Amino acid sequence: MQALDIKLLRDFRRLWAQALAIALVLGCGVAIFLTSFGMYNALEDTRAAYYERNRFADVFSETRRAPATLAPEIAAIPGVANVETRTVGSVVLDIPGRVRTGVGRIISLPNGGLPQLNIPILRAGRLPAPDATDEVAVNQPFAEANGFVPGDTLRANLNGQKRSLTITGTVLSPEFIYTIGPGQMMPDNEGFGILWMPERAAAAAFDMTGAFNSVALSLTRAANAAEVIDRLDDLLAPYGGFGAYGRETQLSNSFIDAEIAQLKNLALVLPPVFFGISAFLVNMVLARIITLERAEIGLLKAVGYSNREVCVHYLMLAGLVALVGILIGFAAGSWLSHALAVLYADFFDFPYLIYRVSYDVYVIAAVIALAAAGLGAARSALAAARLSPAVAMQPPAPPQFSRSLFDRALAAARLSQPAMMVFRSILRWPVRAGLTTLGLALAVAVMVAATFTDDSLDVIMDQAFFQSNRQDTMLLFSEDRPVSAIEEVRRLPGVLAVEGQLYLSAELRHGHLSKRVGIEARPPGADLSRAIDTQGRVVAPPPGTILLSARLAAELGARPGDSIEVEFLGNRRETFHLPVAGLVTQYFGLGAYMDFDTVNALFRQAPQVSTANILLDDAQEDALHARLKDMPGLAGTMMLTESRRSFQDTIAENVLIMNAIYATIAVLITVGVAYNGARVQLSERARELASLRILGFTRAEVSGILMGETLVLALAAQPLGWLLGWAIAWSMTAGFTSDLYSIPLVLKPATFAQASLVVLTATVAAVLVVRRRLDNLDLVAVMKTRE
């Protein structure tokens, strides 16, 4: 090994603590980069393979009842490769050992065996026999949640008839990677299941013999999806079509798209923070090393080492630090991305996981990390290369200081001598102080951006479950029923109050923009299910108008007072122009609201309802469910109390995990910045601090000078960190917003206080570690050291 190589290894060993602090920060950036892209690639690759192997459809549509003879016309649409017509219906399930009613979605299987599209994967048992009338296959998560195995039975209310169904097997389907029931906000595998039934039995149960009410299409590569959807809508319109839609708006696929988008945003937001801080830390440490090694640099040049060799030597020192950080990041990122990818695969009900992190991702992460370290070292390394031997052998010229306005202000403040020394050091090196403040502010920002979601989810919970939806239970009717059905519901056990509600499918248009949504209409004075405006007030749509959720209005480019076109779908194929009366707050889905009497008047019909909202006596809940299991005309139930509990439990667990991760990240950033800053100060001011000890200053006073500068900068970083945290949180809420859900930006004082407490505590801990070195200084040896 050459002399410079030996010196390089010795320097690295001597600086191991500072190098490790920098490497940990850099490793976090690499790990998050790999984790985000690893999970992204795993989800994307697994989904793509699953969709291709099991022929996930490109276009879907539902209708009231279309004749089977329409299938050839659909197949003749230009761009259509395959057509799969089927019978789909919702049923109430009586699950053994479960008091509450369950909800099932029955999907027909072709008489010839497996469907051409959305092919289910058999996981256990077998598929139902084509001529069987009481056999079904169920989705695997539903079976596992209820302990079902092939051969078990459950009872279902099929269009008013209670029948016993035998489970022949369990399956997974690309159509239900994320299985969520009607009106639900979170998956409920115990209470909601998918049941595959032979075509003849399903058609007979739902009066669909010779007809279908659901169709799925696959398209050719050259097909224009929008044109196919328009042609399909035209064909199904006379039969009560609800409007065709593409794969991108299919419910299960939409949730996966939203998750993948979040992972991409994570990869774009956090890693640059770590790489930037690492570059600053490398610059700070290397600049001080070069200042202390001026004489050695002069000797190296005097004995023949070139400027390039000296420059490369210090760049390699930064490269070694980066290499350690890259190795840490590779190890942590590979383990974490695989572990989380497995969790995602289980959560999204994939039958397998294709985990493959491309070597390109590792190379890109390593190149960025090396570039960050090299960028931080470049200025100092070039400065070392430019030193001539004669200049380098001499001590550096003392800085040119002049008495500034700040000095006069400090003098006027009559601060103690240690305090004066702290503030003068900050003012003499403003760039370094500013970068240290920025690094600590970013740590605060990361904590703010992580913990704000807790308060945001509290707001979502309050708005969705306690202000808007205050009912305990929702009954979903299989068909719209006369409003007199509400009186029948009122006589059920435990019903304290009941209100009807009407849901209608419609396409809203404003200019060239359009959106397909569900419109809710409630009777006047409804109190169990309400609309809340953007000021938090309960509002009702005036007659002849429509209320839009704020996000829906934004997507349509509509404002209060604008007139929008409303085309109702299904059997009510009529179009109206309605003024927008106002905007409401809605965090789940895109909603629109109309006056109950207005809707019934528009369609010239007696008042009808689609659902019944119930306020329930908890003591009578079991009796209510016993009656609901035999109630005809019921498509399903939704227990809002259970949904609230499930949402709270799931969110609480996820928030706890994410807060722990982000707190760790913030602590690593803080320790990296504070520890290296204090070490640089100690190396610069060791002689000065030793002189103070000899002059009679106590250890506490001298330590206060060393710790004071870092703590002052940490305090100064708090307001900037709060501002940066707000900016990051705002960008996160904007990036996570989709048609499925949105996250409000809620930042409470406690959020900022918690972030500051974590960062200040970590700062104090890091500086105390350096303080131990100060206590152990050999005063005689330090005083002999040449300035």
Q: Can you give the pLDDT at residue 409? A: 64
Give the whole-angstrom CA distance, residue 581 versus residue 317: 66
Architecture of domain 495-616: Beta Barrel (2.40)
Q: Can you give the pLDDT at residue 439? A: 81
* 8 Å CB contact between 665 and 760: no
Q: Can you give the pLDDT at residue 31? A: 85
Burial 80-101 (b: 16+ CB within 10 A, else e): bebbbbbbbbbbbbbbeeeebb
* 8 Å CB contact between 593 and 545: no
Give the whole-angstrom CA distance, residue 480 versus residue 477: 7
What is the β-pairing status of strands 531-532 and 538-539?
antiparallel
Q: What residue spans define the domains of the chain?
A: 1-56+248-397, 88-207, 400-428, 430-468+641-787, 495-616
* 8 Å CB contact between 446 and 28: no
- 176-216, pLDDT tens digit by residue? 988 887 767 677 888 889 999 999 999 988 889 999 999 99
Q: Can you give the pLDDT at residue 390? A: 66
Q: Can you give the pLDDT at residue 413? A: 61
Q: Can you give the pLDDT at residue 399? A: 57
Query: What is the 8-class DSSP label of residue 247?
Result: G
Query: What is the 8-class DSSP label of residue 465?
Result: I
Q: Which regions of 242-314 does DSSP assign to beta strands (E)?
A: 245-246
Tell me the backbone φ, ψ of residue 633, rounded to 5 degrees: 75, 10
User: H or E segment at 734?
Assistant: helix 699-736
Give the whole-angstrom CA distance, residue 341 versus residue 529: 38
Q: Can you give the pLDDT at residue 787? A: 46
- 648-707, pLDDT tens digit by residue? 666 666 666 666 777 777 777 787 777 777 777 777 666 666 776 676 677 767 777 777
Q: Can you give the pLDDT at residue 736? A: 67
Q: Can you give the pLDDT at residue 317? A: 83
Q: Can you give the pLDDT at residue 263? A: 73
Which residues of the chain, if any, have pLDDT below 70?
1, 183, 185, 292, 390-418, 420-421, 647-659, 684-689, 692-693, 695-696, 700, 735-736, 738-740, 773-787
CA-to-CA dists, residue 408 to 147, 399, 415, angstroms: 79, 19, 12
Ranges of H-type helices in 414-556: 417-428, 430-461, 485-490, 550-556
Tell me the backbone φ, ψ of residue 516, rounded to 5 degrees: -95, 120
Tell me the backbone φ, ψ of residue 212, rounded to 5 degrees: -150, 160
Straight-line distance from the first to the last Cα atom of the chain, in angstroms, rounded to the nearest whole number: 31
**What residues does 771 pair with on adjacent strands?**
none
Q: Can you give the pLDDT at residue 179? A: 86
Nearest to 295 by CA among 363, 387, 186: 387
Q: Which residues contact 273 (CB under 8 A, 6 or more apart)?
A: 29, 442, 445, 446, 669
Q: Can you give the pLDDT at residue 174? A: 93
* 8 Å CB contact between 450 and 662: yes
Tell me the backbone φ, ψ of residue 96, rounded to 5 degrees: -55, 135
Q: Quick one: angle between helices 251-292 and 699-736, nearest 10?
A: 150
| DSSP structure string for 83-124 | EEEE-EEEEEEE-TT-SS-EEEEEEEE-TTSS-SSSPPEEEE
Considering Cα of 424, then 425, then 428, then 431, what sign does the dihedral take? negative
Give the whole-angstrom CA distance, residue 315 versus residue 312: 5
